[in-house]
Amino acid sequence: MPNPTAAMLVIGDEILSGRTREANMYYLSGELTKVGIDLEEVRIVSDKSAAIVSAVNALRATFDTVITSGGIGPTHDDITADAIAQAFGVPIDVRDDARALLQAHYDRQGAELNAARLRMARIPKGATLIDNPVSIAPGFTIGNVHVMAGVPAVFQAMVASVLPTLIGGAPLLSQTLRIQRGEGDIAGPLAELAQEFDDLQMGSYPYQKDGAYGANIVIRGTDAARVNAAMTKLSGLFPA
């Protein structure tokens, strides 16, 4: 059986403008790989409701799991929760359990749960909360969409909360061989090997450093014996 599939939707003008470096995709892909869920697509959209709704609806219809990052904070441009509610055609409002979490958190800090902070307790109807042990304000899950914060530490904590609830598959195994030849020299034999082991993923990633150049050939798959066999044959084709 093929592994379950996932997509990621990164939301935020600050990512598209280059002001903020996106860090969550790298982390998410590694965590999903460990549990045998294949991350097959990543999209980045602006802080525009129509863009978020369109992307969410397209991705949730195509993949088993969708994870979003960004846009659930207290400011006016944090519109992800509203857009998700629109995508699912459900109302959104402040929810008592989310409000209670925030109230207790700000009481402990001696701060006010003002109108801006209360925005983070607005949850689409029918969603379940995602735990946030870092800054308390919850994410939420509705259908197969898991809505998370963009701050990396909070995103990672939310991923840890959600991963045990997802159905995984076979973890992806990986082996790498560094070949000190140009890609033009290795492309033909590598293509033949990829055709022979068409159940595996093979990638060529060139490098150049200190006058040396070549390519790192990465072989990935869920069957350890097949990965080993392919790597043994690759090593024979290009001995050190």
Distance CA 57, CA 88 (A): 8
Domain edge (last residue) among 148, 165, 182? 165
What's the first-to-final CA gap in the chain, in angstroms?
37
Whether residue 180 sits in one domain with residue 127: no
Asked if residue 205 lies in contact with residue 215, where contact means CB atoms within 8 angstroms, the answer is yes
Whether residue 135 sits in one domain with residue 207: no
* DSSP code of residue 119: G
Whether residue 160 sits in one domain with residue 121: yes
Which stretches within the chain are classed as H helix?
13-16, 24-34, 49-62, 80-88, 96-109, 115-118, 152-162, 183-196, 224-237
Domain edge (last residue) among 113, 143, 165? 165
Whether residue 49 sits in one domain with residue 10: yes
Radius of gyration of the chain (CA): 22
Whether residue 86 sits in one domain with residue 115: yes
Distance CA 47, CA 222 (A): 37
Whether residue 161 sits in one domain with residue 65: yes
Whether residue 152 sits in one domain with residue 190: no
User: What pLDDT is recorded for position 210?
Assistant: 83
User: What pLDDT is recorded for position 211?
Assistant: 84
| Number of domains composing the chain | 2
Whether residue 218 sits in one domain with residue 126: no
User: What pLDDT is recorded for position 107?
Assistant: 96
Structure tokens at 25: 């995709």
Dihedrals phi, psi of 203, to nearest 5 degrees: -130, 145
Whether residue 136 sits in one domain with residue 17: yes
| pLDDT by residue, tens only, the chain of 240 residues | 789 999 999 999 999 999 999 999 999 999 999 999 999 999 999 999 999 999 999 999 999 999 999 999 999 999 999 999 999 999 999 999 999 999 999 999 999 999 999 999 999 999 999 999 999 999 999 999 999 999 999 999 999 999 999 999 999 899 999 999 989 999 999 999 999 999 999 999 999 988 889 999 999 999 999 999 999 999 999 987
Whether residue 201 sits in one domain with residue 149: no
Secondary structure (3-state) at 236? helix
pTM for the model: 0.87
Find the domain containing 215 and state its range.
173-237
